Amino acid sequence: MSKLKNTFSSSLGKKLIMALTGLFLCTFLVVHLIGNLQLFKADGGKAFNDYAYFMTHFTPIKVVSYLLYTSIIVHALYALMLTLANRKARPVSYGAYAGSANSPWTSRNMGILGTVLLVFIVVHMSNFWYEYHWGKVPFVEYRTDLTTGQTTQTELAAADFKDYVKYIDNGVEITRAKDLYATTAFAFQTWWLVALYVLGMAALSFHLIHGFSSAFQTLGWDHKKYVPLIKMIGIWGFGVLIPLAFAAMPLYFFFCI
């Protein structure tokens, strides 16, 4: 046990934990993006509200969510510990060392990028996760004609809503849910919040361009046969496509809704 503790308290051990938690968070980003793409469906938010309920009530997902929150905290703490340890090991400014100017900008500013992301996560969780569980999210009823596929929606008063339900009555599918879609649409009418989200996704892009490939390198998966593929996925998948897709959501609501 003591040997294991010493391993994970070492610099290499901290980097290993950073790599594992970082890759887990990358996996979550893919799943979260797939769910959030429901925001673009022209169904009054029905698919997105169904997704929000599923993510907060399906037991296996709830367990993964707690692992996610833990991973964010651990990833941030170990990043801070590594940053402080590196500064302590270098009493002279990092930029004063020969060759530092040739290192990638993302590598030299991971601390700044991580801080921006941490602020973004706190704001995001307070605006949506907290509001969905304990805030004043409105309620909605959807009625979908199973013959025509047409859906109508009606806002419900709090007194008329007890819990999420979905049932069929005379060929009509009736769904009652918390309307997180409406909360999202309202929040993204605020310009500074939209700007913060775009800034957060820019920070995420630069953070992942360096962090994704670095994680595989830390784990020892840096064979020359696989490095080009890992870098391509890190840059174009996690560094470009995913941040752009997430940034498109607040911009869509601000300019198009």
Total-model pTM:
0.87
In terms of Cβ atoms closer than 10 Å to its own Cβ (0-12, 13-18, 19+), residue 198 is: middle
**pLDDT value at residue 110:** 74
**pLDDT value at residue 8:** 56
Percent of the chain surpassing pLDDT 90: 67
Helix (H, G, I), strand (E, B) or coil at 97: coil
Residue 227, Cβ neighbours under 10 Å: how many?
14
In terms of Cβ atoms closer than 10 Å to its own Cβ (0-12, 13-18, 19+), residue 223 is: exposed
Q: What is the pLDDT of residues 54-109, one digit of tens each?
A: 999 999 988 888 898 899 899 888 888 877 777 776 655 444 444 455 566 666 67
Where does 37-145 have alpha helices with state H? Answer: 46-57, 59-89, 105-108, 110-124, 130-134
Q: Sign of dihedral through CA atoms 40, 46, 52, 57?
A: negative
Q: Domains of the chain: which residue ranges?
A: 2-91+106-138+179-256, 139-178
> Residues 243, 202: contact at Cβ < 8 Å?
yes
> Residues 46, 175: contact at Cβ < 8 Å?
yes
**pLDDT value at residue 106:** 63
Residue in the block written with tokens 């070492």: 10
Going across the sheet that includes 172-178, the strands are 151-156, 139-145, 172-178, 165-169
> Residues 208, 234: contact at Cβ < 8 Å?
yes
Count the residues in the chain: 257
Class of the CATH-defined domain 2-91+106-138+179-256: mainly alpha
Give dist(CA 166, CA 146) in Å, integer: 13
**pLDDT value at residue 98:** 45
Residues in the chain, pLDDT under 50: 93-99
Tokens of 90: 């270098």
**pLDDT value at residue 253:** 97
Q: What is the pLDDT of residues 171-182, one digit of tens each?
A: 999 999 999 999
